[in-house]
């Protein structure tokens, strides 16, 4: 539509100089907008869009770097291989379990932490500062700390809680430690997102509820949570998608042994250790679809509004 406008404008230019200036300003604005966004858009699309398509193409081939001569188009055979493989489903189950457990625990702890940071009577600055430490620590560093805390010969926690066994070599305890490491690292992020939502709860509303005789718990469930619903959903969405791609903690803590592999870990092993590009790409596509499905559920079923999306629409 903008392409047809300029000639007409140019004809009228002599009669209505005011309008012409305006539309030229408008066109300059558009051009500048595109110009400013182009580099970011090009990089993002080139480094994600194109590889994802390429990934789909790779997933339709038998392509093992150890036997490059056997490369051929095999249709959906890789998908059949992966989807009938018990390791894949085990990793999928483990990933889902870790995701659900850690996100639920984080929501509870994060909410508690947000309430502390928001209403702390003394030492609020201190709490806010130390809360940022887990966020800033490199995930791998934290994972090593947990690994050494729970390894049999070195660790203080292993000595305390299981003096006999080696918690990282048993499936249930290893999974629990992975969840612990994930929760420790990301609860502060959850808490900060929730704190932003908490700031939106009008204090008059809380005071009114208190005056009407609502207990602290009632005020929390009947006033604070409903007002914070959008913030909670956004925090849950981000953390669920983030937890589903868990890799660092699993890699350092167990390297996926004892059936603790996550889907990311399994993909990495097939790709970098096994050098099987076809299978690796197939898993990549499947993980992408799983994440897209999670996002779809959040947006459509829970009505999560992506942050910024409404604001963008308005202007």
Partner 1 sequence: MVLEVPDRRMSPEARRRAKWWFVNAVVVVYALLPVLWIVSLSFKTKETITDGRLLPREWTLENYRAIFGTSDFVRALVNSVGIALISTTIAVVLGTMAAYAIARLDFPGKRALVGVSLLIAMFPQVSLVSPLFEMERGLGLFDTWPGLILPYITFALPLAIYTLSAFFREIPWELEKAAKMDGATPAQAFLKVIAPLAAPGVFTTAILVFIFCWNDFLFALSLTSTERSRTVPAAMSFFSGSSQFEDPTGTTCAAAVVISVPIIVFVLFFQRRIVAGLTSGAVKG
Q: Which residues between 241 and 280 bind partner 1 (CB under 8 A)?
A: 241-242, 244-245, 247-248, 251-252, 263-264, 267-268, 271-272, 277, 280
- Measured from the CB atom, is 44 or 222 closer to partner 1? 44
Residue 120 or 222: the one with the smaller Cβ distance to partner 1 is: 120
Question: Which stretch, 69-77, 124-132, 200-208, 217-225, contacts partner 1 (CB under 8 A)?
Answer: 124-132
CB–CB of 177/168 below 8 Å? yes
Q: Does 155 bind partner 1 (CB under 8 A)?
A: yes
d(C-alpha 233, C-alpha 194), whole Å: 10
* Contact between 18 and partner 1 per CB under 8 A: no
Q: Please state, as a whole number, how many other Cβ atoms lie within 10 Å of the Cβ of residue 307.
A: 16
Helix or strand holding residue 61 (H, E): strand 61-62
Please identify, among the stretches 15-23, 38-46, 83-91, 200-208, the one whose residues bind partner 1 according to the rule CB under 8 A. 38-46
Q: How far apart are CA 217 and CA 214, in angstroms?
A: 8
Work out the angle at residue 242's Cα, subtended by the Cα atoms of residues 157 and 182, and round it to the nearest 5 degrees: 5
**107 counts as binding partner 1 under rule CB under 8 A:** no
How far apart CA 266 and CA 277 sit, in angstroms, is 13
Nearer to partner 1, 40 or 211 (CB): 40
Contact flag: residue 138 with partner 1 (CB under 8 A): yes
Per CB under 8 A, the list member of 21, 76, 83, 154 interacting with partner 1 is 154
10 binds partner 1 (CB under 8 A): no
* Angstrom distance (rounded) from CA 103 to CA 183: 8
For residue 132, state whether it binds partner 1 (rule: CB under 8 A): yes
Q: Which of 202, 176, 22 is nearest to 98 (CA)?
A: 176
Please give the residues from 57 up to 96 whose contact with partner 1 meets the rule CB under 8 A.
58
Residues 6+ apart with CB under 8 A from 288: 52, 55
Which residue of 22, 37, 80, 172 would you call a contact of partner 1, by CB under 8 A? 37
| Residues 183 to 202 in contact with partner 1, rule: CB under 8 A | 184, 188-189, 192-193, 195-196
**Cα 293–295–296 angle (5° rounding)?**
60
């Amino acid at each position: 539509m903008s392409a047809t406008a300029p000639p007409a404008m140019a004809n009228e230019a002599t009669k209505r100089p005011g309008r012409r200036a305006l539309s030229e300003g408008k066109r300059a604005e558009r051009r500048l907008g595109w110009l400013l966004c182009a580099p970011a858009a090009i990089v993002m699309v080139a480094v994600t869009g194109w590889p994802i398509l390429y990934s789909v193409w790779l997933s339709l081939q038998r392509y093992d770097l150890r036997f490059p001569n056997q490369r051929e188009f095999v249709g959906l055979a890789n998908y059949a291989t992966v989807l009938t493989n018990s390791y894949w489903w085990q990793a999928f189950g483990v990933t889902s379990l870790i995701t659900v457990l850690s996100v639920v625990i984080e929501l509870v702890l994060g909410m508690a932490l947000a309430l502390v940071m928001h209403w702390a009577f003394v030492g609020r600055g201190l709490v806010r500062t130390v809360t940022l430490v887990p966020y800033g620590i490199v995930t791998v560093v934290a994972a090593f700390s947990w690994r050494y805390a729970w390894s049999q010969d070195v660790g203080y926690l292993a000595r305390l809680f299981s003096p006999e066994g080696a918690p990282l070599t048993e499936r249930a305890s290893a999974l629990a430690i992975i969840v612990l490491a994930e929760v420790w690292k990301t609860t502060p992020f959850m808490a900060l997102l929730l704190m932003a939502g908490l700031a939106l709860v009008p204090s008059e509303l809380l005071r009114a509820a208190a005056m009407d005789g609502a207990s602290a718990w009632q005020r929390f469930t009947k006033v604070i949570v409903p007002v914070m619903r959008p913030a909670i959903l956004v925090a849950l969405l981000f953390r669920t998608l983030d937890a589903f791609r868990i890799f660092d903690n699993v890699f350092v803590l167990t390297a996926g042994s004892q059936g603790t592999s996550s889907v990311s870990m399994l993909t990495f092993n097939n790709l970098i250790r096994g050098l099987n590009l076809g299978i690796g790409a197939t898993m990549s596509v499947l993980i992408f679809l799983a994440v897209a499905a999670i996002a779809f559920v959040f947006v459509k079923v829970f009505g999560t509004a992506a942050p910024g999306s409404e604001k963008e629409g308005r202007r």
